[in-house]
Amino acid sequence: MASLVYACGEFLKKAHDMGNIRRGRAKDRRSAPVSGGEAKGGFQYLFGPVSSWRLGASLGIDLLSQEKKICNFDCLYCQLGETRESPEERRVYVSTEAVLAEMNEMPEDLVIDVLTFSGRGEPTLARNLGETIRAVKEVRREPVAVLTNASLMNREDVREELYCADIVVAKLDACSEAMFRRINRPEPGIRFADIVEGLKRFRFAYRKGKLALQIMFIGENRDCAKEIAGMVERIVPDEVQINTPLRACRESPLSREEIDRIVSAFGTFPMLSVYEEERPVVRSLTPEGTLRRRGKVH
């Protein structure tokens, strides 16, 4: 831990030394275009802002940024195609310093709601996730979110890193080991019970930020909303996000009527539903980089 704090301190000092890192915070402008200038240089690790139904204008930070998706799941509905690379150990793919350098190149008038760690795979597989979250929070004032498949939530070091974020959106698509294996198709050593236990532990300790559970409904789990809602009750998130794959992938989305029926199974939890939420109009700083993170170009 001491070395992590030291390493983080070094990056923070460098971030301050860079100076001139711009800060912005969007006001309520759900239907107005977000202003944004052209990038001074190319962006390899930052992408978007994307128009997110959950987060608003979301500037992506991809700590993986590899040609091939890096993930320990192979979800039926993944928009990035099949998983071909699933590392056994966490490792550094993109340095924290490189991310900060790109932040320093962001146009001054780029207005964003949230900085989101996501991209071409599972962000917690990047060993420097916690370090980069802390460094980014030193130089920007927008909230920091992490989208995770929750596969490493049972690890204390990963939970510690995620505590640094303001928003954690964790995946929970199943209510049993068998369903988990059919939908998320994890690496053999990953167990559903460990994920649920990790989420409960995380919830217990994570009080300053928002924990959202994202549930992707497809044909495989469409009839299990009540059982999944039962699991959600035991984890006690701040929000439940009901999703179905509207972007092109191997699975067909459920209809609005089906999603409405599913939403009603979740009772009084604060809810977001993919069919109901508005999306802000945004202009992307990195059109091609954004499409790559959405599996539209390879």
Which residue ranges make up the site for ligand SF4 (CB under 6 A)? 69, 71, 73-75, 78, 80, 83, 121-122, 149
Instruction: Using the minimum distance from each CB to ligand SF4, give the nearer residue, 83 or 290.
Output: 83
- Minimum Å distance from CB 266 to ligand SF4? 21
Minimum gap (Å) between residue 79 Cβ and ligand SF4 = 7
Instruction: Please state the closest distance from residue 28 (CB atom) to ligand SF4, in A.
Output: 30
Kindly list the distances between the CA atom of residue 75 and the CA atoms of 149, 167, 174, 249, 255, in Å, as whole numbers in the listed order: 10, 23, 12, 10, 20
Question: Is 71 or 263 the residue whose CB approaches ligand SF4 more closely?
Answer: 71
The CB-of-112 to ligand SF4 minimum distance in angstroms stands at 22
Instruction: Determine how many CB atoms are found less than 10 A away from the CB of residue 3.
Output: 7
Q: How far is the CB of 78 from ligand SF4 (least distance, A)?
A: 3
Residue closer to ligand SF4 by CB (options 74, 238) is 74
Q: Which is nearer to ligand SF4, 139 or 170 (CB)?
A: 170
Nearer to ligand SF4, 159 or 294 (CB): 294
CB of 70 to ligand SF4, least distance (A): 8
Closer residue to ligand SF4, CB minimum distance, 103 or 242: 242
Nearest approach, Cβ of residue 169 and ligand SF4 (Å): 11
In angstroms, what is the minimal distance from the CB of 1 to ligand SF4? 28
Write the secondary structure of the chain as one string of H (helix), E (strand) and C (coil). Answer: CHHHHHHHHHHHHHHHHHCCCCCCCCCCCCCCCCCCCCCCCCCCCEEEEEEECCCEEEEEECCCCCCCCECCCCCCCCCCCCCCECCCCCECCCCHHHHHHHHCCCCCCCCCCEEEECCCECHHHECCHHHHHHHHHHHCCCCEEEEECCCCCCCHHHHHHHCCCCEEEEECCCCCHHHHHHHCCCCCCCCHHHHHHHHHHHHHHCCCCEEEEEEECCHHHCCCHHHHHHHHHHHCCCEEEEECCCCCCCCCCCCHHHHHHHHHCCCCCCEEECCCCCCCCCCCCCHHHHHHHCCCCC
Nearer to ligand SF4, 85 or 260 (CB): 85
Sign, CA dihedral 190-193-194-196, equals positive
Specify the residue, 80 or 146, whose C-beta has the smaller distance to ligand SF4: 80
Q: Are 52 and 58 in contact (CB under 8 A)?
A: yes
